[in-house]
Chain A
């Protein structure tokens, strides 16, 4: 490490250090959006880990900071995996099925950035309905 020579340089270091750090800061934020990826054996087998990495990379590429990507256990729809649930504060959550890399990018671009749901990929808008 060479010495920091100005306030601008310090700010640059802060920006690059902030990326990994946002994970924590965002988690403490009450208004955060949560993306939950089903990460049980079935999910991992059908590529949930790649889906999760794609989401994380896409978010960081777009500099979106108020979103936490977390994992959860089996959601009970193994044939629909990988599953991603999008939870905005104070809104019913939306669950997407078969989220591969392309669809993961689409979730970030459309749903998170523009607020447009990917109608064709929605598994159901609430958990209760599917059980019928």
Chain B
């Protein structure tokens, strides 16, 4: 059966929430109603990354890209586009800055600067059909490795490619594999880390949902390279769609003989098992993860010994992140030289970022290492929402830091981000604007790490709690200049003395905001002022004499009756009784009440 037209519907978690499953069903119904089921195929695919405008439908071979498609639009798409060949103009993407409708995704600024390697198959193939993966060269890398390369050749190819871990640390993948080859053992393990605990990140989920076979294939390749025949995928139970797609992919791979015993008749065997995590952030740390797989408590232990020497049940174990793995098959098929030609000097290839916060194009973007933050935020991301002013971008999630305007033009890679007090982390990127209070942001991240600390070591368990208390005190308007000194000192001690990466990085959001936004901290503690107008306790609502027309609306909504004034006369707020609920501010139609 050969179809003359394909309709690809995004089936990622985000788009499924906006009814993409129903949309697919309606498309299929309409195709049938028009008697074209032999010619037109509608299928599900992985995340296109342009989540801001999802659900997305892509039409091949016309290469037309429809955005924000609802189930009700199916009829028009089929009757107009599929049957009559006329594009549905109203569903095309309108570029806000150009005010033109763009039909092809390649014309969109969102995609222009992107280079999709790890996400190469997301939005391109049906993740539930192994033959689509095979058609796009899937399992060819495994075939090549098993028939043409010795295990050490594979390790060397990885070393040459310059691929580094995408899970946060940036450790060279080839070197990690090489360590694992040095330890003799009849049993070794490969672990795929799909815990993805950073609250802002969803690239690993999207890869597993959109291209699960690439991860399975990479694990088998890693197994061959270090001499392991068994692998685990440690995935959080809150990812039901990713789990479902992985299970389908694993079953199909077993059925086709691409996992299991004697793969492709080469004698090499590899099996994979799923393990579910309960969603604790610390379980993403590799030693905690290993203990969790062993059935122990998910608490970190000191390194060395590194997992490559002594991991699961004391056996040599390689832990790699999902995105790291997704890069591997294509490095093997296209070669290490191709891969190392992309990116910056010390960081090769691309990185996927999850763009979120006060930005126009929320979504997943993949760019070569060495791209600047300005390009990501203002070109791909379409700039700040509602024309507000950019304040900072937080990278690296709860372990990272804030980056300000002055550093936006630095080409980003592992080293440069660390040098400016942040880090790559897993690739979460939250954009903040003038309305965000940096003290409050730091407090938000600390809240997360305090909650997620496993409690095993004192600096992290107690120290971070103290940091959080000081920040709370400052946001409540009770801070003193001494508190700023303490934050800095305590933060550094926690970094130096915590047992695992969680504690070692938890003070980063505090230290970096303290460094780059000291004026905001000082305004809080010295003047009792929150410049961004976020910290409730420091706000003051006042009525502007010249603007108030005396309509009495504010006085009527004030829950504590602290606004006085005659009808048609200027109103006044009694500050000593005001509880800062903001009701009057929302009610005044004449912009006479200000919040400062």
A17-B134, A40-B84 known; A69 and B4 CB under 8 Å? yes
Q: Is the C-beta of A109 less than 8 angstroms from some C-beta in chain B? A: no
Report whether A21 and B264 are in contact in the complex, using a CB–CB cutoff of 8 Å: no
Query: Which label, helix, strand, loop or mixed, suits the secondary structure of the A interface?
Result: helix
Q: Is the CB of B264 within 8 A of A5?
A: yes
- A53 an interface residue at 8 Å Cβ cutoff? yes
In the complex, A15 Cα to B5 Cα: how many Å?
19
With an 8 A cutoff between CB atoms, is A99 at the interface? no
Per-position contact with A for B343-386: 1 when CB-CB < 8 Å, else 0?
00000000000000000000000000000000000000000000
Q: Which residues of A contact B139 (CB under 8 A)?
A: 10
Q: Which residues from B are CB-within-8-Å of A68?
A: 61-62
Q: Which single member of A5, A17, A26, A60 contacts B265 (CB below 8 Å)?
A: A5
Contacts of B41 in A (CB 8 A): 20
The reply to whether the CB of B2 lies closer than 8 angstroms to some CB of chain A is: yes
Which of B223-231, B254-262, B411-419 lies at the interface? B254-262
* Contact in complex: B63, A27 (CB < 8 Å): yes
Residues of chain B within 8 A of A17, CB atoms compared: 131-132, 134-135
Once the chains bind, are B124 and A24 in contact (CB under 8 Å)?
A: yes
Report the minimal beta-carbon distance from A106 to chain B, rounded to whole angstroms: 20
**A residues near B61, Cβ cutoff 8 Å:** 23-24, 26-27, 34, 68-70
What class of interface size applies to chain A in its complex with B? 35 or more
Task: Find residues 80-109 in chain A having any chain B CB closer than 8 Å to their own CB.
Answer: none
A40: B residues at CB distance < 8 A? 84-85
Chain A residues with CB under 8 Å of B136's CB are: 21, 25
Q: Does A3 contact B (CB under 8 A)?
A: yes
A57 and B39 CA atoms in complex are apart in Å by: 12
Q: Which residues of B contact A3 (CB under 8 A)?
A: 255-257, 260
Q: Interface 1/0s, chain B 440-452, versus A by CB < 8 A?
A: 0000000000000
Q: Within the assembled complex, what's the spacing in Å between the Cα atoms of A53 and B136?
A: 24
Whole-angstrom CA separation of A17 from B134 in the bound complex:
7
Q: Is the CB of B258 within 8 A of A21?
A: no
In angstroms, Cα B60 to Cα A34, docked, is: 12
From residue 49 to 82 of chain A, which have CB atoms closer than 8 A to chain B? 52-53, 56-57, 60, 68-73
Interface membership of A7, Cβ < 8 A: yes
B591, CB-defined interface residue at 8 Å? no
Contact A70 B140 (CB under 8 A): no
B residues in contact with A20, CB < 8 Å: 1-3, 41, 135
Chain A residues close to B by CB (< 8 Å): 1, 3-7, 9-11, 13-14, 17-21, 23-28, 34, 37-41, 52-53, 56-57, 60, 68-73
Known pairs A1-B255, A7-B264, A20-B3 / 4 extra A-B pairs, C-beta < 8 Å: A3-B255, A17-B132, A68-B62, A70-B62
User: Could you list 29 A-B pairs, sorted by A, with CB under 8 Å?
Assistant: A1-B256, A3-B255, A3-B260, A6-B264, A6-B265, A7-B264, A10-B139, A10-B143, A13-B131, A14-B134, A17-B134, A20-B2, A20-B135, A23-B3, A23-B6, A23-B61, A24-B60, A25-B136, A26-B61, A27-B63, A39-B85, A40-B84, A41-B84, A57-B2, A70-B61, A70-B62, A71-B5, A72-B86, A73-B85
